[in-house]
A and B are shown apart, each in its own frame.
Chain A
Amino acid sequence: GQNIDQPTEMTATEGAIVQINCTYQTSGFNGLFWYQQHAGEAPTFLSYNVLDGLEEKGRFSSFLSRSKGYSYLLLKELQMKDSASYLCAGMDSNYQLIWGAGTKLIIKP
């Protein structure tokens, strides 16, 4: 079956760094997405990885290892506004997204 696993909740301190892990099992693979979702709002796109390695985009970076079925989202210099849920989604061979349940990130001052 297809499955996306990520932690339910994480807590970090303002100004620190946090890494949110995601493991995936999909039927075929056409990429791994990370989305940010604030409470009561629609998700917004953060990153897309289809090749192994690290993609850096400002304070956010995303890593992919296809052989391990593993990805992480790295958030640096955390700000209070980064408090949100972070959704990991894998795209299967039919270009359908398989969504994780999301990781709720709590930032403390």
Chain B
Amino acid sequence: GAVVSQHPSWVICKSGTSVKIECRSLDFQATTMFWYRQFPKQSLMLMATSNEGSKATYEQGVEKDKFLINHASLTLSTLTVTSAHPEDSSFYICSARVASLGDTGELFFGEGSRLTVL
């Protein structure tokens, strides 16, 4: 099956610093990648939809200047949490959809990145 790799898996940073999380599709091309945030014991919350070569589409309530998304190639999307604060501590997960005809819409998820802001 399709493999999505997310890096780093764990990151601890000081308040006010920026953190970059990478999401790579290893064996397929992904025109669309999704970024989610998940707080403990809660469901996935879609933050933004990342389209290769264009600006990301952010969900209501998500600050686009704080959560910078770049989808520069068909295999890489990055999420940068700028000036992170403790309330940004969460589990961030990316997913990708295979770019091909007959796409069932199945999403392939990265391993997730746990961010802790001190």
A41 & B105 in contact (Cβ 8 Å cutoff): no
Complex-state Cα separation, A91 to B105, whole angstroms: 8
Total A-B contacts with CB atoms under 8 angstroms apart: 45
Residues of B that sit less than 8 Å from A by CB: 6, 42-46, 49, 91, 93, 104-112, 114
CB of B41 to closest CB in A, whole Å: 8
Which residues between 3 and 57 of chain A lie within 8 Å of chain B, taking CB atoms? 30-31, 33, 40-45, 48, 50
A48 & B43 in contact (Cβ 8 Å cutoff): no
A45 & B106 in contact (Cβ 8 Å cutoff): yes
B104 & A44 in contact (Cβ 8 Å cutoff): no
Residue of A nearest to B2 (CB): A45
Residues of A within 8 A of B93 (CB): 42-43
CB of B28 to closest CB in A, whole Å: 14
Complex-state Cα separation, A50 to B102, whole angstroms: 13
Complex-state Cα separation, A95 to B93, whole angstroms: 19
Q: Among B43, B106, B112, which residue has its beta carbon within 8 angstroms of that of A42?
A: B112
Complex-state Cα separation, A102 to B6, whole angstroms: 23
State the majority secondary structure of interface residues on A.
Answer: loop
Complex-state Cα separation, A40 to B42, whole angstroms: 11
A99 & B104 in contact (Cβ 8 Å cutoff): no
Which residues between 66 and 109 of chain A lie within 8 Å of chain B, taking CB atoms? 87, 91, 95-97, 99-102
Residues of A within 8 A of B49 (CB): 96
Complex-state Cα separation, A26 to B49, whole angstroms: 19
Sample (17) of A-B pairs whose CB atoms are under 8 Å apart: A30-B105, A31-B104, A40-B112, A40-B114, A43-B109, A44-B109, A45-B106, A48-B104, A48-B105, A50-B104, A95-B105, A96-B46, A99-B44, A99-B46, A100-B43, A101-B42, A102-B43
Residue of A nearest to B41 (CB): A104
A42 & B105 in contact (Cβ 8 Å cutoff): no
Residues of B within 8 A of A31 (CB): 104-105
Residues of B within 8 A of A97 (CB): 46, 105, 107
CB of B5 to closest CB in A, whole Å: 11
